[in-house]
Amino acid sequence: MVGDSDIGDPDDLYPPVYVQQMAEMRTGRNRIHIDVGVPHGQAEARVAAALASGGTLVSDRFAPMWWTLADPEGNEVDLATWIGRD
């Protein structure tokens, strides 16, 4: 579901980007953290592709709802399926 502060393609050709308030303010690099919605059936393959490209797994604690990944500079993104949420 795309809310008022989220970014979604009106034609549903591309995955939505979700914007959430963070618990604490970050400074310097990695100041933002985005969630990218992916189809449940593609999530594990996309996680594997990100890891094969040099990313790291920060947490899979909430999988299969979402995985938190980071690029080599520590910038984080959640790949989210929303399975099991709300």
Is residue 29 a part of any domain in this protein?
no
From CA 16, how far away is CA 8, in angstroms rounded?
4
Is residue 8 a part of any domain in this protein?
no
Question: Which residues share a beta bridge with 79?
Answer: 36, 67
Is residue 7 a part of any domain in this protein?
no
Query: What is the value of pTM for the model shown?
Result: 0.73
CB 55 within 8 A of CB 39: no
Is residue 43 a part of any domain in this protein?
yes
Q: What is the CATH number of the domain that holds 85?
A: 3.30.720
| Number of domains making up the chain | 1
* Each residue's pLDDT expressed in tens, for the chain with a length of 86 residues: 566 667 777 887 877 777 667 777 777 777 777 888 888 999 999 999 999 999 999 999 999 999 999 998 888 899 999 776 65
Is residue 55 a part of any domain in this protein?
yes
Query: Residue 85 belongs to what domain range?
Result: 35-86
Is residue 22 a part of any domain in this protein?
no
Is residue 67 a part of any domain in this protein?
yes
